[in-house]
Structure 1
Amino acid sequence: MMQVLSIHCATTKETPFSGKLIVLTGPSGVGKGTLMRSLLQRHPELYYSVSATTRAPRPGEVDGTNYYFISRSKFEQLLAQGEFLESAEFAGNYYGTPREAVLSQVQSGKLVVLEIELEGARQVRASFPQALSIFILPPSFEELERRIRGRGQDSEEAIARRLQRAKQEIAAADEFDIQIVNDDFETALNAIETALYNRE
């Protein structure tokens, strides 16, 4: 059964923006993407920040919808120009959140949601402490491994890397304002909605 493990939010100085930045993170395979897609279907008023990545598209992924798929050299050029709010290297590929689009949407009053990896989430918290951060946890490590293997997309070597990384990420869960266990999907989704709409 899903449970909200803890809810706490440090007091920060009042944000100069009328919108809100929400960071959703958690280990690979925990269901962040599926939760995010359902959240956006229910709440089209949310602005979802599309990340850039140097990894190849997975089957069914669309450039500009799932990610901006760019070359490593282009990513490094944008990184050097300070164009990313956060960036990280994960499983041999770069990921990053375009800075300008996010800040302009927050300033215009939107709820802006980022679905990003742990390293990037930490960067956002450091540079944008007003952000609400949510960490999605698996019901167990064994279940997480089952979900990753069930994708059928990764080699054994890649799975081993993801699982090792997941252990480190799960250990960081209580750095974040809210932790939600994704056991029952609908309950987890409702808990995210509550976090976004029923709190200051």
Structure 2
Amino acid sequence: MGKGTVSADIRKRYPQVWLSVSATTRKPRPGEVDGVHYHFVSGDEFARMVSDHQLLEWAVVHGRNWYGTPRAAVEEQLSRGVPSLLEIDLAGARQVRAAMPEARFIFLAPPSWDELVRRLVGRGTEDEEERERRLATAKVELAAADEFDHVVVNDEVSRATDQIVALMGIRPHD
């Protein structure tokens, strides 16, 4: 019930919002589709994208895999006036803030630390070492929530979705 779940709910309930599709070097999880959930690329391809300045933001996430937002797609949507959402981490948000200071930044927070741990363990897609890496990253991210323009608590997916789209200037569904 994290960023991915809320993004999927936005995609489903608010089709007028364009969601960027990040590039990543990590392997797909069960059910993930290349080009829909992520652009799954090799390390060499990712490095080429970085060197060619094709990414708006990029970073190593959880100390292991590279993630980045393809620049051209974002710029195209914004130039057309399409409401756009990037699902990015703290390092990515800091890079986008530097590149696009006019953007609005929303921090999606868990209802509590215990709930965050429960969700991560319950997902069952990471081993213990990966969970520990993700929890260490989460501590750093939670400490930086005040860098964002808004904080939305993800205690219930549809409520978090409605709050985010309202902050984007879209009237939430009743």
Q: TM-score range by the shorter chain?
A: over 0.9
Supply the distance in 1 between the matched residues of 2:156 and 2:39 (Cα, whole angstroms). 30
Partner in structure 1 of residue 93 of structure 2: 121
Residue 151 of structure 2 is aligned to residue 179 of structure 1: yes
How far the C-alpha of 1:145 sits from its partner, in A, is 0.5
**Unaligned runs of at least 5 residues, structure 1:** 1-29
**CA distance in structure 1 between the partners assigned to 2:16 and 2:152 by the alignment:** 23
Following superposition, the deviation at residue 172 of structure 1 comes to 0.4
Q: Where does structure 1 differ by over 3 angstroms across 4 or more consecutive aligned residues?
A: none
The correspondence of residues 79-158 of structure 1 with structure 2, limited to 5 A, is 79-91=50-62, 92-158=64-130
State the alpha-carbon separation in 2 of the partners of residues 124 and 98 from structure 1: 12
Mapped to 1, the partners of 2:149 and 2:28 lie a distance apart of 31
Asked if structure 1 preserves the Cα contact closer than 8 Å seen for 2:9 and 2:157, the reply is: no
**Which residues of structure 2 form unaligned runs of 5+?**
none
Contact 2:5–2:157 under 8 Å retained in 1: no
- Which has more strand, going by share of residues? 1
**Of 134, 152, 156, which aligns to 1:162?**
134
SS at 2:105's partner residue? Answer: strand
SS at match of 1:197: coil
More helix by share: 2
User: Is 2:38 the partner of 1:33?
Assistant: no
Shift of 1:198: 5.8
Are the aligned partners of 2:57 and 2:68 in contact in 1 as well (CA < 8 Å)? yes
Q: SS of the residue aligned with 2:86?
A: strand
Percent identity of paired positions between Structure 1 and Structure 2 = 49
SS across alignment from 1:35: helix
Instruction: Indicate yes or no: 2:162 matched with 1:190.
Output: yes
Partner of 1:153, secondary structure, is: coil
The one-letter code sitting in structure 2 at the alignment partner of 1:78 is M
Amino acid at match of 2:34: D
The alignment yields a C-alpha RMSD, in angstroms, of: 1.3
Q: Deviations over 1:37-85 (max 9, x none)?
A: 1112122111111110000000000000000000001100110111100
SS across alignment from 1:38:
helix
Q: Secondary structure at the match of 2:168?
A: helix
Whether the aligned pair in 1 keeps the contact of 2:60 and 2:67 (CA below 8 Å) is yes
Instruction: Report the TM-score when normalising by structure 2.
Output: 0.93
Return the alpha-carbon distance in structure 2 between the equivalents of residues 155 and 63 of structure 1.
23
Q: Deviations over 1:148-175 (max 9, x none)?
A: 0011111111111111111010000010
* Cross-structure match for 1:49: 20
